Chains A and B, each alone.
Chain A
Amino acid sequence: MDFQVKYSRFRSLLEFLSIDLSMAYRFPLAEIYAALYTFFLVVSAIPQFGGVSSLIVFFAYLYFATILPKFITNILIAKNVAYGFAGEIERGLMQTYLTYPIKRLDIFVVKVFTCILVPYFYFIFSLLLASYLLYFEVFEIYGSQVLLLIISVAGPCILFGAIITAASLFIRRGGASLGLGIAAYFTIAILEMAMLYFAGATRRYEYILALFVLEPYLAFASHYGSTFMPFVHLPSITFEEAASYLIAHYFLSFIVFAVIAFYFIRRFEPT
């Protein structure tokens, strides 16, 4: 009898994914993250006040309640990428992974999934759950728009992850990458604030375009009327335009990932 196990690319990818996930999210870690996300998003509920549209209240909720969870997501991504990519290169683990009978692209995909997409989905699902629980009427009436808004709020986390991944592959040291990640987070936040100011003050197309591509949520805010942000005066745009900024944002993230993947597959040497 011949008991040969046929090589399957998908099976080896799953095997590697299982190893990587159990290493990155040891027993209570995944549960603690889930608890933190749920807690912060549910307790930050903004009550409905008379005379204010429920969609505007939901907007305000998305803007203010996601500040802390967004920060947690970005720090989690920075930590995962720093130790998942740079840390493993530093300790020589990446060299071992590259000797496995698994394609470099699969290693890259699994790493991106574990380090960036898992925290991203944590954020998305917890926001969906909180929106369903706290703003059921808005969820019921504007379901697809709510989903787009949530995706637009979480979008910058992916772009941030892509930038940190690129930096980690060049720095190749865990601690330094984490430090750089935290510094990059604050730099991006300051840059966005500056652009928000310039876009509001000068109304120049280039600033507004850059701002909306970097922070697509603001594009939707400017479509629906950003009455909850009285200090910002952005031009009114159509829903299709706002959606196109969202697509442009994700496309930009995809391009950055594609360049990193190309470098990882063709040029990257772990030694």
Chain B
Amino acid sequence: MTGRLGSIILTIGLILYVTSMIHIPFSHSEVAGSGTIFVDEAKVIFSDVISPMEKVSIRIHGFGLKVYIVTANPDARLDPILMGGTVNASKIKELIMQLNVVFEGDSPYSGEVDFSHNVRLIIVISNEVSGVATVNYVVKVTRMNIPIVRVRSTSINLILIGCVTSIPLVALKLKDKIYGGR
């Protein structure tokens, strides 16, 4: 029975990893918009609670803008300006820096985010350099059947534990192979 528990854990880990790849999208919701942002102005385009069962894909078109993707505790009491709308760029930047910044970069931006716990996701576009910039964006929230991040991270942990604990089984099989069971 040496190492069998390890090989069982390894199998569970591998199956979980494979299962995390066959996620089924159940429903979609979309936030889309376009407009102009003047210098020193920022726009909170998305501010909502995202569960581990949801995957968010973000597409922002337009040049010369800063994109901030920030997460906050879903139960935390936030400043009303973080809930949506057009606000002052320097003020919102100050507030953003107090939260957990997942991404900070220039537009155009395209990417996907998902989380292992419930979080409030805030996406901000800010014009910090040019006079007037036009932007159009699409934020699509897809509800999945499984929490991909959690399943994947657990599967990797199980694979690692399984690999280590099944060493005696592999060693025993190798010993039998090399010494012919003597």
Contacts and interface: CB of A to CB of B under 8 A. Distances in A.
Interface of A: 18, 21-22, 25, 30-31, 34-35, 38-39, 42-43, 45, 47-48, 129, 133-134, 136-137
A47 B145 contact: yes
Given A21-B1, A34-B8, A38-B12, 8 more contacts: A35-B15, A39-B19, A42-B151, A43-B22, A47-B53, A47-B144, A47-B145, A129-B154
Contacts of B53: 47-48
A42 B52 contact: no
B143 A31 contact: no
B8 to A, nearest CB: 5
Chain B, interface size category, equals: 20 to 34
B16 to A, nearest CB: 6
A114 to B, nearest CB: 12
A21 B151 CA distance: 30
Contacts of B12: 34-35, 38, 129
A133 B146 contact: yes
Interface in B91-135: 117-118
B149 to A, nearest CB: 11
Contacts, number: 59
Contact of A134 (B7, B26, B118, B146): B146
B113 to A, nearest CB: 18
Given A47-B144, A133-B147, A38 B16 contact: yes
Contacts of B52: 136
Nearest to A54: B51
B8 A134 contact: no
Contacts of B27: 47
Contacts of A129: 12, 154
B146 A31 contact: no
